[in-house]
């Protein structure tokens, strides 16, 4: 079974992703479960760039297929 790393420490987000992906043959883990203890500097100029920075860094660190998102409030 393939493991998918969700790039979050947030247990609520993890529960949501596990529910959404429940029908797929994936073991879904978060940063804590993967033993990741660092944060990625969000130096991108868009939410998409920051998500990509996080996904690449955590995938490189763990060797796992990684999903990251980024969002915020724009005024």
Sequential DSSP letters for 8-57: ---HHHHHHHHHHTTTSSEEEEETTTTT---------SSHHHHHHHHHHH
Indicate whether this model's pTM tops 0.85.
yes
What is residue 69's predicted lDDT score, i.e. its pLDDT? 93
Active site residues: 70
17 near 35, Cβ under 8 Å? Answer: no
pLDDT in tens, the chain (75 residues): 999 999 999 999 999 999 999 999 999 999 999 999 999 999 999 999 999 999 999 999 999 999 999 988 888
Please state, in angstroms and rounded to a whole number, the distance separating the CA atoms of residues 52 and 43.
11
Long-range contacts of 48-56 (CB under 8 A, 24+ apart): 54/7, 55/7
């Amino acid at each position: 079974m393939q493991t998918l790393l969700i790039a979050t420490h947030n247990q609520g987000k993890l529960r949501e992703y596990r529910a959404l992906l429940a029908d797929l043959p994936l073991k879904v883990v978060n940063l804590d479960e993967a033993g990741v203890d660092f944060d990625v500097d969000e130096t991108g100029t868009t939410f998409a760039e920051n998500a990509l920075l996080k996904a690449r860094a955590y995938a490189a660190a763990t060797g796992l297929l990684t999903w990251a998102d980024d969002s915020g409030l724009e005024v």
